Amino acid sequence: MDTTLREALQESMGSISHSIAVTAALGLLMILGLVTFRSVMSEIVLPGIPQFKGVPILGAMPIYFKHGMPQLLGSLIAIGEDGISYANVVNNVLVSVHDPAMVKEVLSYPEEIASREGDIGRMSWSPFWTLRRLIGESLFNYVGPDTSHHRNVFIREFNSTKSNAEKFSTISQIAQEHANMLTGQAKVAEVDNIRYSADNFAIALWGETLYGNPHHYIGGRVLDLSETIITLAGNPWPSVWYSIQLFFKMVTPGEPTRTEAKLREKVAKVIEANFEKLEAYEKANPDAPLKTIRNLSVMTGGGRTGPLSKFAAEFTNLNLFGGHHSIGLNVTWSLIELDNNPECLKKLMAEIDSVDTNDFTSVNSKMPYLDAIIMEINRLHPTVHATLRVINRETKLTASKKPVVLKPGMLIYLSYLHLHTSPEFWGPDSYKFMPERFLGNYDKSKPFMSFGYGPRNCVGYKFATLAAKVYLLTLLKTYDLQVKEHDHEMKLGTLLETTKPVAVKVSHRF
């Protein structure tokens, strides 16, 4: 565990000792759990829907704290034969929705009915509740009419063919630079963790694209901060500790704790340094096309120079931890699966040799087997393997086979990984890596939601996918790669990662 993360987790429990903090937290949670237990004794929260009861008073909380949300979701999915089940987690009702039609319905709800965060003054297990305090407001938290406009700005910048074609040469250049770093002047090198290299490529790419700062990754500060933010957002203890402080009115609802404020100061310093790079670039290149963050700013009311718009400034915080992990993990899992399936690698290399990979159109739309590989990686190993919504207004879940009324405060968890790997939807070979699933006229009725669904789907997935494709191609054109071990498994945390570092031997092809 890196120093920043260790300090943040320790300080999230305050200056008192860990054992006292845990005791206090559990004591308060038992009180809250007892209140919840008594309130639900007289009624069934979701009549006719399977309930995972856990232990008396605390419900499923011990499982969540000991094993994490993924295992709890697994238990809920196992009992929810009709695609829905629920459990009490202290003072919250957690509902697992894992039927494709119901998942699409929940993801289509407007923010007035279901949002990512819910009431900022009420205890919530939503990672977005913690995330707001760590990085401030962002597109994740937006509700109302501004949401559509700001989403459309992102889509024009990151999901349009024209915009990505303009970014292609930058992606290719940085991909080659980072591929070359793997061996330097040597012909062969042992890479301890290829994901570290892929993440740094993505961080450098975002730094150059946004600010004109390709050295954004140097020193590891961005990666360390990113890992800290992601871990804290997905860890239950920051939510517990914050809830205790809310209960005793030690914090203003929605405002960061002292520790969280310190982390935000570290984020602000990185952003400030990037903005200085941006201003220096703009001064030295007055006639050059605008960098992406400036373009986003202009499209949302900012000037061509000077301070960024409020929206663009918020994105600088969001981008510090978001965006590069999807690229890095895509590349990492691709190398693992291709190494385990040499016949797939052979087909891909034949396709690589048959097209001009320096041409945007070829890479973007004339490499069907590469596209199929990326789709299959996102099916088997979706970086964001689950998401949630917090119910804000009572509503009926119409896609359910049984009557279901979702009530304010309920947390609805949606497992993409389950939808992507269930034999019910994908057949008996659902866990097998088979890019051929996505060749030709593949069955689009099968549930595939790696980038979300509906009005809140990912606004930058085409840029991220293009970046992952280019870096993967660059690695394969430059090197013969051998993944050192063949027992890599998935670790379900905030993101879907590998259980251990992925060591790779790289040898120059020519």
CB of 330 closer than 8 Å to CB of 383: yes
447: enclosing H helix or E strand = none
Contacts of 76 (CB under 8 A, 6+ apart): 52, 85, 86, 87, 94, 96, 98, 413
> pLDDT by residue (tens digit) across 123-142?
777 888 888 899 888 777 77
Domain CATH for 265? 1.10.630.10
> pLDDT by residue (tens digit) across 423-442?
999 999 999 999 999 998 88
Strand order through the sheet with 411-415 = 51-52, 84-89, 92-97, 411-415, 386-391, 114-115
CB of 171 closer than 8 Å to CB of 204: no
Name which residue leads in pLDDT, 213 or 458: 213
Write out the residue range of the structural domain in which residue 397 sits. Answer: 3-508
Q: 458 a known binding residue?
A: yes
Q: What is the mean predicted confidence (pLDDT) over 466-491? A: 96
> pLDDT by residue (tens digit) across 38-49?
444 445 789 999
CA distances from 479 to 187, 212, 372, 482 (A): 9, 28, 22, 9
Domain count, the chain: 1
Average pLDDT, the chain: 88
Comparing 30-34, 257-261, 410-414, the range with the smallest average pLDDT is 30-34
Distance between CA atoms of 93 and 406, rounded to whole angstroms?
Answer: 10
Contacts of 400 (CB under 8 A, 6+ apart): 82, 83, 84, 99, 102
pTM here is 0.90
Three-state secondary structure along 388-403? EEEECCCEECCCCCCC
- β-sheet bridge partners, residue 95: 86, 412
Q: What is the mean predicted confidence (pLDDT) over 67-80? A: 91
